[in-house]
Structure 1
Amino acid sequence: MQRVWCQVVIDTAQELLKTALAVPLQEVKTRELSQQGIELWVRRDDLLDAELSGNKFYKLFFNLQSARTKGYTQLISFGGAYSNHLHALAAAANRYGLRALGVIRGERPVKLSPTLIDAEAWGMKLIFISRTEYDRKTQADWLSELQACYGVSYLIPEGGANLEGARGMQLLGQALELQMQGDYTAACIAVGTGTSLAGLAAGIDQQKAAIGFSVLKGEGSLGLDIASTYRQLSVTRSIAADNWRLISGFHAGGYAKKPSGELFEFWRRFERETAIRLDPVYTIKMFWGIHSLAQQGYWPRGSRLVAIHSGGLQGRRGFICP
């Protein structure tokens, strides 16, 4: 399959929706799903753009719009050495003519990760801080100090986890609903901050389920965060009940842990059978969860599932891949 677009600046939500509607849906057949009578379609948002693939650009789009409308010329956000979010933010800032600051968890290493090498090449200024200091990234006084040091900036939370980020994913959900014309059972997505799940659920038909597979070992307030964001997005809808579910148990040891054992074997088999590359932090766990639940009889026979491929393939460079 070919990428949908590349190196293009999109300025309006209408243009973004038009692009989202062009994202291909690919039917995937695997042994486990066929045995259980489950139909799986993959929405190939990993093909959306060479640099801004998957859910990253949807989550950045309205943030970028807001920053430009308010007159900001500098963006600032947070992440680790292999952050898909910072990688996409650096690319987007470069494309849209904005300066970008990336606050990185941990001391600067002797050799930068491929992710951060790309970010610097696109003009992002990297700011390395201790893990203790990084834990203060949501505190107002610390953020004020940060802006005093580096200049007034439009703040985007780690992972693009704000209402603007969720609005972008809501648009993806709307595009999916138009593409499928309601002919599906549930839409599945990998979950880190929960922003993408909340947006997806608010964008699809309320009678359809949005299923999120958590990649975190400890969820904390994740469910409450998803519920809050979902309800903010759904103020114009008459909500009888939330149409999203969060599934745990497929984190394989925790966030960004190197896949091993059963998960690694699944990864190897899935890519061999489908020719679809997965990222080792997010999508691999979603697809593993979908298949495992199929074998447990969770999905009724005849279910038609849609899985959102949220990109992040640049992160493969930090792992041993099949």
Structure 2
Amino acid sequence: MNPKPFLQEINHPLCQEKNVRFSIWREDLNHPCISGNKYWKLKYNLERAKELSNKSLLTFGGAHSNHIYAFAAAGKEFGFETVGVIRGDECRELSPTLKFATECGMKIYQVSREQYRKKTEPTFLSELAEKFGSPFIIPEGGSNEYAVKGCAEMIENLKCSPDFLCSPVGTGGTLAGIIKGMNGRPKILGFSALKGGRFLKNDIENLLGDEIFTNWEIIDQYHFGGYAKCTAELASFIKEFKRQFNVPLEPIYTGKMVWGILDLISKDFFPENSEIIAIHTGGLQGLKGFEEKGVTFS
């Protein structure tokens, strides 16, 4: 049986000094391979594919994508053939993520970065549908209306309403679901994993459709150089955080978010007596790609 997500309080000295309470909702424990937010982003996508009698699924991502990893695992577990359209055709050797995906039966289709930028264009999508037998197509990161529905359901399991609720942001689907699920309260902070991530505001608003919420914002100063970038300082922080609190983080999403939360606590961003909860969105398999490059986290 898989361990169930739970709320883990982080008794950091900063929290005592600033008189705030900080906890992490451990969604990384919800499934061994389809972990964290990916479980919820894929849940209703897979249900929709089944309703349409699709036997194959296609999606997009990079060589180290958490989404590709979970997508391939979900295909294997639920009996779908899978195709991954992978950004960058210069990758001679498969990354640990892509090796795992192929072991799950995923067909890897590498395209140039120029081609990859066409991933939402109808002509390119039609070409892919013809090439791979009309699969059910799920966008990059899994972010669509079905992902929003799943992530809204994820947050219902939290069963509490802190003063601040925090989540990493990549493509925006998870944050849109959290915003929708919390229905106007509390204050929601999305920590962008991308450099210049404020553009995500429009993407999230589009995912929310006609529903308008004003209780959220994007925090974009903790990207550490951009998506999938990891400095020695961040790697050291992740290693020390695990030693102190027994919570594994990864450098693409959760490590940056937790660093950012603690930095904001130190700068009195959060009022005294605030309760802060951060969503651990999983993706720990991403550590393997960095470790292959000599970056260690243990």
TM category, shorter: over 0.9
Q: Distance in 1 between matches of 2:225 and 2:10?
A: 27
Answer whether contact 1:210 1:245 (CA < 8 A) is retained: yes
**Map of 2:154 onto structure 1:** 172
Where 2:131 maps in the other structure, the secondary structure is helix
Q: Distance in 1 between matches of 2:90 and 2:46?
A: 27
Equivalent of 2:8, from 4, 10, 26? 26
How much does 1:174 deviate? 1.6
**Map of 1:197 onto structure 2:** 175
Answer whether contact 2:61 2:84 (CA < 8 A) is retained: yes
Moved more, 81-90 or 206-215: 206-215
Percent of pairs with identical residues: 39
Q: Distance in 2 between matches of 1:265 and 1:111?
A: 28
How much does 1:37 deviate? 1.3
Q: Distance in 1 between matches of 2:296 and 2:187?
A: 32
Q: Deviations over 1:15-56 (max 9, x none)?
A: xxxxxxx52111111122222112111111101111111000
Q: Distance in 1 between matches of 2:256 and 2:32?
A: 23
Equivalent of 1:45, from 10, 15, 27? 27
Q: Distance in 2 between matches of 1:166 and 1:259?
A: 31
**Map of 2:272 onto structure 1:** 301
How much does 1:220 deviate? 6.0
**Map of 2:218 onto structure 1:** 246
**Map of 2:46 onto structure 1:** 64
**Map of 1:321 onto structure 2:** 296
Q: Which runs of 5 or more structure 1 residues have no equivalent in the other structure? A: 5-21
How much does 1:231 deviate? 4.1
Q: Deviations over 1:92-134 (max 9, x none)?
A: 0111111100011122633211111111111111111111111
Q: Deviations over 1:279-305 (max 9, x none)?
A: 110000110110000010001111111
**Map of 1:128 onto structure 2:** 110
Q: Distance in 2 between matches of 1:207 and 1:313?
A: 29
How much does 1:205 deviate? 4.5
Where 1:173 maps in the other structure, the secondary structure is helix
Q: Distance in 1 between matches of 2:136 and 2:120?
A: 14
How much does 1:221 deviate? 3.1
**Map of 1:255 onto structure 2:** 227
Q: Distance in 2 between matches of 1:219 and 1:36?
A: 28
Where 2:5 maps in the other structure, the secondary structure is coil
Answer whether contact 1:173 1:202 (CA < 8 A) is retained: no
How much does 1:308 deviate? 0.4
Matched letter for residue 80 of structure 2: L
How much does 1:147 deviate? 1.3
Q: Which runs of 5 or more structure 2 residues have no equivalent in the other structure? A: none
**Map of 1:211 onto structure 2:** 189
Equivalent of 2:141, from 143, 147, 159? 159
Q: Distance in 2 between matches of 1:207 and 1:200?
A: 10
Answer whether contact 1:197 1:244 (CA < 8 A) is retained: no
**Map of 1:54 onto structure 2:** 36
Q: Deviations over 1:39-74 (max 9, x none)?
A: 111111101111111000100011001000011111
Q: Deviations over 1:175-200 (max 9, x none)?
A: 22x2x2x3x21111001111111110
Matched letter for residue 195 of structure 2: K
Q: Distance in 2 between matches of 1:187 and 1:277?
A: 19
Residue correspondences, number: 293
Where 2:120 maps in the other structure, the secondary structure is coil
Matched letter for residue 174 of structure 1: E
Where 1:109 maps in the other structure, the secondary structure is coil
**Map of 2:166 onto structure 1:** 188
Structure 1 stretches of 4+ with a deviation exceeding 6 A read none
**Map of 2:66 onto structure 1:** 84
**TM-score when normalising by structure 1:** 0.87
Answer whether contact 2:152 2:179 (CA < 8 A) is retained: yes
Where 2:42 maps in the other structure, the secondary structure is helix
Q: Deviations over 1:220-279 (max 9, x none)?
A: 6311111222345x4xxxx6x422111110001111012323x33322322221111101
RMSD over aligned Cα atoms: 1.6
Moved more, 125-134 or 306-315: 125-134
